[in-house]
Amino acid sequence: MRAASGRAALRPAPYGPTDVWSYNGSVPGPEIRVRQGDRIRILARNGLDEDTTIHWHGIRTPNAMDGVPFLTQDPIPVGGDFLYEFDALDAGTFWYHPHQRSVEQVGRGLYGPLIVDEADPIRVDRDLTWMLDDWRMTRDGQISADFGNRRDAMHGGRIGNSVTINGQIPERIAVRSGERIRLRLVNAANARIFGLDFGDLVPVVVALDGQPVTPHAPDSGIVVIGPAMRVDLVIDMTGKPGDVITVIDAFYEGLEYRLVDLAYGPDRLRDSVPDWSMDLPPNPLADPDMTSPARHRIVFNGGMMGQTMMGGGMGSMMDQMREGNMWFINGKAATGQMMDPLLVLPQGTSQVFEMNNRTAWHHPIHFHGHSFRVIARNGQPTRYREWQDTVLMAPEERVEIAFVADNPGDWMFHCHILEHQAAGMMGVIRVDPRATKT
Ligand code: C2O
Ligand code: CU
């Protein structure tokens, strides 16, 4: 797979192509699709003018294959290559992207889907993937070059003005009356959170971040998906031939817009909703032992209108802000390439993180190398104890996650709003095979 600059037809004709950075010349990059248990081997080549890496988001790889520059590998130099090789332990919807200067590399189009099929998938008529992205385009249809600016970093990140599905600003997508679709949503945007409203359709959430969940309707009927997150939906197309359903993104109040129309063709596939099971088989994840897990408090601070800004921050945070760092985990903004671990977890132990978002912003918090259960929000147990690798925290929200620290190595723990990550909102968590349980 070769990362290089190229062009892509993000906008419909008659507009011309946009200059992008992409894998193998396409946005998104090639779909990697394997069966659960398969071994994946990818030779990554760097055709960019700067260093890069590839991170396999949500895949539980060995640490050396995780694609984090300096932490798990040397960056791939210009013209160089790196062989990634790992087993697809979990079935589900995953994706890949660089972990080097991600703000710009992902923001210019370097990402793609990685789908691991179950040995025995649930029955559907069509299995579709929508990789959502949000671009900041100039009036001449090129990508605005203002990556990494301070304003984006202090607020909600780089929110753009042009949303694509699979690399195209979509008009309409054809569906058939009566068909059942598995729709795999992947949010590849730097910063935009989506809240999809499917109108009269009733989407059922069957997996989150690749991991099966008890099939359920999304809260208020809106499918919320923060940066880097995935949601697998099963949707029965219950409309009549000729109908049109408008999918609306309603996440930001007052800024709702039409994402795409689903247009029913003239024929009908079936008359009633099929009674096929929507239960995906579980993946081989170790369940945390909740009798006496180790507990850690993790506090997120910073940003515009946060406590730190209002003068409630500790002096050290104020000093760090003067140096251009705007987001903090337990009072520290990560800078540079080498980071001391925030936490050292003995391998094999059950862990609970009590996370507290003391900011005025949403943050999708991602942990590498593991999936975790989201067990509580604001002190209330969650209904489905869903497995995730990226959990969206609302402003001032408290979220508890639980997992077994079973994958040894140094793992990134960061906000996936890429501008927040770059402005300090990251850290390293070490899963130590030698540490003894205390
Ligand atoms: Cu999707 Cu640290 O990455
Ligand atoms: Cu954030």
The reply to whether ligand 1 has any atom less than 6 angstroms from the CB of 358 is: no
Q: Which residues, including other chains, have CB under 8 Å from residue 17's CB and lie 6 or more apart?
A: 7, 8, 9, 10
Q: What is the pLDDT of residue 335?
A: 77
The whole-number pLDDT of residue 177 equals: 98
Q: Lay out the sheet containing 341-346: strands in order across.
A: 341-346, 426-432, 409-415, 363-367, 390-393
Give the rounded percent of residues in the chain with a pLDDT score beyond 90: 90
- Give residues with Cβ within 8 angstroms of 424, minimum separation 6: 302, 320, 325, 326, 327, 328, 329, 332, 333, 334, 335
Tally the C-alpha atoms within 13 A of residue 266's C-alpha that lie toward its C-beta. 0
Q: How far apart are CA 436 and CA 438, in angstroms?
A: 6
Q: Of 253, 268, 283, which residue constitutes the final position of a domain?
A: 268
Residues 136 and 252 in one domain: yes
The whole-angstrom separation of Cα 371 and Cα 374 is 10
**195 lies in the same domain as 307:** no
For ligand 2, the distance from its centroid to the CA atom of residue 417, given in whole angstroms, is: 5
Among all ligands shown, which has an atom nearest to the Cα of 412? Answer: 1
Instruction: Answer yes or no: is 277 within a domain.
Output: no
CA 163 to chain centre: 16
Say which ligand is closest to the CA of 420: 2
For the chain, the domain total comes to 3
Structure tokens at 377: 């929000």
How, if at all, do strands 32-35 and 112-117 pair?
parallel
Q: Do 91 and 149 belong to one domain?
A: no
CATH number of the domain residue 240 falls in: 2.60.40.420
Give the pLDDT band of residue 438 (cuts 50, 70, 90). low
- Out of 209, 233, 268, a domain closes at 268
Name the closest-CA residue to atom 3, ligand 1.
57
Distance CA 109, CA 314 (A): 38
Nearest to 132 by CA among 113, 157, 114, 147: 113
380 and 423 fall within a common domain: yes
CB 155 less than 6 A from any atom of ligand 1: no
Which tens digit of pLDDT belongs to each residue from 169-204?
Answer: 998 999 999 999 999 999 999 999 999 999 999 999
Is 228 near ligand 1, meaning CB less than 6 Å away?
yes
Across 241-257, average pLDDT: 97
Instruction: Tell me, in angstroms, the distance from the centre of ligand 1 to residue 249's CA.
Output: 24
Question: What pLDDT does 322 receive?
Answer: 66
Please identify, by atom number, the ligand 1 atom nearest to the C-alpha of residue 421.
2
Distance in Å, CA 410 to ligand 2 centroid: 21
Ligand 2 center–CA 300 separation, angstroms: 9
CA distance 238 to 87: 38
H or E stretch covering 402: strand 398-405
Distance CA 368, CA 113 (A): 17
The answer to whether residue 78 sits within a structural domain is: yes
Question: Which tokens belong to 336?
Answer: 């540079």
Give the closest ligand to the alpha carbon of residue 110: 1
97 C-alpha vs ligand 2 centroid, how far in Å?
18
For residue range 336-365, what is the model confidence (pLDDT) as tens digits? 766 789 999 999 999 999 999 999 999 999
Q: Is 145's pLDDT higher than 60? A: yes
Give domain status of residue 282, yes or no. Answer: no
Instruction: Measure the CA–CA gap between 279 and 275, rounded to whole angstroms.
Output: 12
pLDDT of residue 311: 52
Are 216 and 319 part of one and the same domain? no
pLDDT for position 1: 98
pLDDT computed for residue 317 by the predictor: 76
CA separation (Å) from 435 to 62, 296, 342, 371? 19, 17, 15, 21
Q: State whether 219 and 172 are in the same domain.
A: yes
- pLDDT of 308 reads 56
Distance 325 CA to ligand 2 centre (A): 13
Q: Is the CB of 366 under 6 A from ligand 1?
A: yes
Give residue 43 CA to ligand 2 midpoint distance, Å: 31
Residue 140 inside a domain? The answer is yes
Cα distances (angstroms) measured from residue 265 to each of 159, 258, 426: 34, 20, 47
Which ligand does the CA of 56 lie closest to?
1
**pLDDT per residue as tens digits for the range 277-317:** 999 999 999 999 999 999 999 999 998 876 655 555 566 77
Q: Is 348 inside any structural domain? A: yes
Among 344, 320, 314, 313, CA closest to 334: 320
370 CB under 6 A from ligand 1? no
Look at residue 340 in the predicted model and tell me its pLDDT.
Answer: 87
Query: Residues 132, 94: one domain?
Result: no
Q: In what order do the strands lie in the sheet with 32-35?
A: 32-35, 112-117, 92-97, 55-57
Is 392 found in the same domain as 354? Answer: yes
Residue located nearest, by CA, to atom 1 of ligand 1: 57
Which residue segment(s) compose the domain that 189 sits in? 126-268
Tokens of 114: 């990685």
| Confidence (pLDDT) at 146 | 97
Picking from 89, 117, 145, the residue at the C-terminal end of a domain is 117
Which pLDDT does position 321 carry in this prediction?
A: 74
Angstrom CA distances, 350 to 371, 382, 398, stand at 12, 18, 20
Give the residue carrying structure tokens 């910073």: 302
Position 274 in a domain: no
Task: Give the tens place of pLDDT for each residue, 23-35.
Answer: 999 999 999 999 9
| pLDDT confidence tier of residue 319, bands split at 50, 70 and 90 | confident
pLDDT confidence tier of residue 88, bands split at 50, 70 and 90: very high
